[in-house]
Amino acid sequence: MRTPPRILIVDDNPMNLEILQTRLAVHGYEIVTAADGEEALTIASEKQPDLILLDVMMPRMDGIEVCRRLRSDPSLPFTPIILVTAKSDSKDVIAGLEAGGDEYLAKPVDQPALVARVKSMLRIKALHDTVQAQAARLEAQATELREWNRTLEQRVAEQVAQVERLGRLKRFFSPQLAELIVEGGAEDPLKSHRREVTVAFLDLRGFTAFAETAEPEEIMGVLREYHAEMGRLILAHEGTLERFAGDGMMVFFNDPVPIPNPAKRAICMALAMRDRVGELSVRWRKRGYDLDFGVGIAQGYATIGAIGFEGRLDYGAIGTVTNLAARLCGEARPGQVLVSQRLLATAEDLVEIEPVGELHLKGFLKPVPAFNVLRLKGENA
């Protein structure tokens, strides 16, 4: 309801219009008038009054018919109607109320009664409008809540699908690469690119002889223990597992997500692996398995990207650095972590080493200096 309330007075008698208008205007109401039923319908549609004082006895269209038409017009909001007439017979009162009138005033109109009726009907109008506004707000909130629920359901479904997709990708790729693929972005993480990486090869010493004599169930049991422990350490040091074949694994650092100190991470991972395999070896020896561990680590540039075919892709690194790490691993004796000279140059302040001399490695024309990492500096011997 507007402030001040707008009241439409309908009467075909100009004197009655003037009297009612004068009596109500002093109370601060905004007054509009109509001299017949047709004009009343037009003004009610245009001005949307908050209250209508409607004369019953008018030519052409009486107040009863005007009341019916007002109530049947869906474009008009709820508006209280006070019927004002000289007819005071109960049949006339009932007819007016059944047509949609809310109150009935008999002429001549008593001013206090008129003002009281007007105030009462305007309170009803205000309450009605308040309820309607609250209902509209509740409906808007319900609509918004439904939309939020739909959005939430969609987001949950998308996140579940993403988690499922991420889980499937992690079966084939490192967690870092799987997350990059799922998240998307401007660049395709599987696209071939060049990057300086630190590469570590590791395998079990004595595994070939063990596999030739042990039962398949024993071999698989050892590999499960070994892969589980090594995998945990790879993830802990943010390495990317390129592949594993039997007891051999290739891990590289600084791709697909660049990380600080990749050489340090690779060395720390290798030393932690050596310690863990040492613990596993105690159990294995009790079962009669003579197994140990060796690692080769090198640093350099490699071409990295997806390798394979549609339906089965690996994420691999190709280059001299991978060959060097593999050859160093092949030369490592049980318990050794052999590193290249280039890698040592970036990590020599972190580790205690012993030179193992120049190694003649397959695929390399010149002898390659190699160094065995004994421990991190500051650790007890």
Checking if the pLDDT of 172 tops 60, the result is no
Specify the DSSP element, H or E, that contains 196: strand 193-205
Rounded Cα gap, residues 291 and 334, in angstroms: 9
For range 271-281, the mean pLDDT: 95
Rounded to two decimals, the pTM is 0.56
Checking if the pLDDT of 320 tops 60, the result is yes
For range 9-34, the mean pLDDT: 91
Give tens-digit pLDDT for 362-378: 999 999 999 999 999 87
For range 291-304, the mean pLDDT: 94
Give tens-digit pLDDT for 82-134: 998 877 677 878 888 888 888 888 888 888 888 999 999 999 999 988 898 89
| pLDDT number for residue 111 | 86
Give which of 38, 78, 44 is closest to 62, Cα–Cα. 38
For range 285-298, the mean pLDDT: 94
Residue in the structure block whose two tokens are 């002093």 = 26
Higher-scoring residue by pLDDT: 187, 321: 321
Q: State which amino acid sits at residue 204.
A: L
For range 340-356, the mean pLDDT: 92
How many residues does this entry show for the chain? 381
Rounded Cα gap, residues 38 and 48, in angstroms: 15
Task: Give the orientation angle of helix 175-183 with respect to helix 111-170, to 10 degrees.
Answer: 140
258, β-bridge pairs: none
For range 135-144, the mean pLDDT: 90
| pLDDT number for residue 186 | 44
What does the block give as tokens for 234? 């790879």
Checking if the pLDDT of 76 tops 50, the result is yes
Checking if the pLDDT of 169 tops 60, the result is no
Domain architecture of the chain: domains with CATH: 6-135 (3.40.50.2300), 191-376 (3.30.70.1230)
| pLDDT number for residue 164 | 62
Higher-scoring residue by pLDDT: 380, 207: 207
| pLDDT number for residue 108 | 84
| pLDDT number for residue 217 | 92
Checking if the pLDDT of 147 tops 70, the result is yes
Give which of 9, 31, 38, 33 is closest to 109, Cα–Cα. 9
Neighbours of 65 (CB within 10 A): 15
Q: Which range, 68-72, 238-242, 327-331, has the best average confidence (pLDDT)?
A: 327-331
Rounded Cα gap, residues 305 and 194, in angstroms: 9
Q: State which amino acid sits at residue 228.
A: A
ω before 262 within 30° of 0 (cis)? Answer: no
User: How do 6-10 and 51-55 pair as beta strands?
Assistant: parallel
Give which of 59, 15, 18 is closest to 40, Cα–Cα. 59
Three-state DSSP state, 173: coil
Rounded Cα gap, residues 258 and 297, in angstroms: 18
59 confidence band (pLDDT: 50, 70, 90)? confident
> What proportion of the chain, given as a percentage, has pLDDT over 90?
55
What does the block give as tokens for 13? 């008698």
Higher-scoring residue by pLDDT: 122, 305: 122
Checking if the pLDDT of 42 tops 90, the result is yes
Radius of gyration from C-alpha coordinates of the chain = 45
Give tens-digit pLDDT for 238-270: 898 887 778 899 999 998 878 889 999 999 999
What are the helix (H) ranges across the chain?
Answer: 14-25, 37-47, 63-72, 90-98, 111-170, 175-183, 207-213, 216-236, 262-286, 320-331, 341-347
297, β-bridge pairs: 200, 339
Higher-scoring residue by pLDDT: 47, 89: 47
Give tens-digit pLDDT for 203-217: 999 999 999 999 999
